[in-house]
């Protein structure tokens, strides 16, 4: 959908040939128990990790992968096996609100609501190019969208669209809730600020300056300081990180990445003291390419990857288990074959690897 996806497709034919060789040894720890049928109804206390597998753009092969975190039994395509229909095209993200899990299916222009226990579809909300969902309260959530300036307001209980928020810039993307305010990134190459929305009035009330342009994601650390990742390398907007004081326009620190260092999907660890992110090199190099981490008090960007990508490999998904602190890393393998997820402990030691659907890009841990 976005410029990164188009770039991936252009390299995919080369990548699929080379990745088979370079990943051969990494699959030795793969879990053997993969089930194609529907998973059982979720039990009390059961923990699962869901993987949003994007699929390859235009092929309608997105899928919802699930692994039980006790037995490590994997379910390959949960939505299809339960509902007997395809999920759609480009599965971007997912979020649980109440008794439902909401699936943003980008290129199919829909948000699908499934029951969190049975995984049965309970409704569809038609929204153009949905990206991410931010729960405001049990009866209100925001949905960001690509190729517009709209943030949609939905009721997660009734599955109705109740309004929209017109943003001052295009491509609303990552969002963060703090108190009565929502930070909203607009991934617009002409935007050098993050916008603040009052969640009571659903109005843009302020904006905070950031380093660089094209803010894409926003997260908060353990001290409620806000980190904004910006940049669109293909459109000549270098990546940058800005650390903002809570509820303030004060910039604590800012970091500028070097030319052509493509960075995405920041994640804060459970202790709130470490920031992880993915650096991507689509050209098959091993330069600034892999999973990086830095302390929230560090004064410089990390130069060496915490988990390096191999030659002709790049990563696309990153998540941290809220209980074990295990680090989940998604390898899309060029979006032309099934991807893999490798799990590491907090020290970076590999624990296991398992195959997923095409394009593992987003993790959700369901308690």
pLDDT 10s digits, 40-92: 999 999 999 999 999 999 999 999 999 999 999 999 999 999 999 999 999 99
Say whether pLDDT at 5 is over 50: no
Rounded distance, CA 113 to CA 120, Å? 9
Q: How confident is the model at residue 367 (pLDDT cuts 50, 70, 90)?
A: confident
Q: Does residue 47 contact residue 365 with C-beta atoms inside 8 Å?
A: yes
Q: CB neighbours (10 Å) of residue 207?
A: 17
Q: Does residue 3 contact residue 233 with C-beta atoms inside 8 Å?
A: no
Q: What is the mean pLDDT of residues 286-293?
A: 92
Interior/surface letters 59-78, b for 16+ CB within 10 angstroms, e for the rest:
eebbbbbbbbbeeebbbbbb
Give the total residue count for the chain: 367
pLDDT value of position 115: 98
Over the chain, what is the mean pLDDT? 91
pLDDT value of position 33: 72
Q: What is the mean pLDDT of residues 191-200?
A: 98
């Amino acid at each position: 959908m976005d410029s990164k996806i188009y770039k991936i497709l252009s390299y995919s034919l080369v990548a699929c040939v080379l990745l088979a060789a370079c990943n051969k040894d990494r699959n030795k720890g793969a879990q053997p128990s993969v089930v194609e049928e529907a998973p059982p109804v979720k039990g009390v206390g059961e923990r699962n990790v869901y993987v949003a597998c994007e699929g390859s753009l235009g092929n309608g092969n997105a899928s919802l992968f699930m692994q039980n975190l006790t037995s490590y039994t994997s379910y390959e395509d949960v939505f299809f096996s339960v509902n007997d229909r395809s999920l759609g095209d480009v599965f971007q993200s997912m979020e649980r609100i109440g008794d439902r899990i909401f699936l943003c299916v980008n290129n199919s222009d829909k948000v699908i609501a499934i029951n969190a226990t049975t995984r049965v579809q309970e409704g569809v909300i038609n929204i153009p190019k949905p990206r991410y969902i931010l729960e405001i309260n049990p009866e209100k959530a925001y949905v960001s969208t690509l190729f517009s300036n709209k943030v949609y307001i939905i009721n997660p209980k009734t599955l109705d669209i109740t309004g929209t928020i017109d943003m001052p810039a295009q491509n609303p993307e990552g969002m963060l809730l703090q108190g009565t305010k929502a930070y909203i990134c607009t991934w617009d190459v002409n935007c050098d600020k993050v916008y603040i929305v009052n969640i009571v009035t659903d109005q843009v009330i302020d904006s905070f300056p950031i380093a660089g342009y094209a803010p894409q994601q926003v997260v908060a650390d353990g001290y409620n300081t806000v980190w904004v990742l910006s940049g669109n390398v293909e459109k000549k907007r270098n990546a940058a990180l800005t650390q903002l004081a809570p509820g303030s326009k004060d910039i604590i620190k800012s970091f500028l990445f070097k030319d052509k260092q493509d960075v995405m999907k920041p994640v804060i660890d459970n202790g709130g003291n470490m920031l992880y992110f993915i650096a991507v090199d689509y050209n098959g190099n091993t330069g600034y390419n892999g999973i990086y981490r830095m302390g929230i008090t560090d004064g410089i960007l990390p130069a060496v990857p915490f988990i390096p990508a191999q030659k002709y490999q790049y990563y696309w998904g990153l998540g941290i288990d809220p209980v074990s602190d295990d680090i989940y890393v998604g390898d899309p393998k060029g979006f032309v074959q099934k991807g893999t997820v490798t799990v590491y402990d907090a020290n970076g030691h590999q624990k296991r690897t398992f195959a997923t659907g095409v394009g593992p890009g987003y993790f959700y841990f369901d308690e």
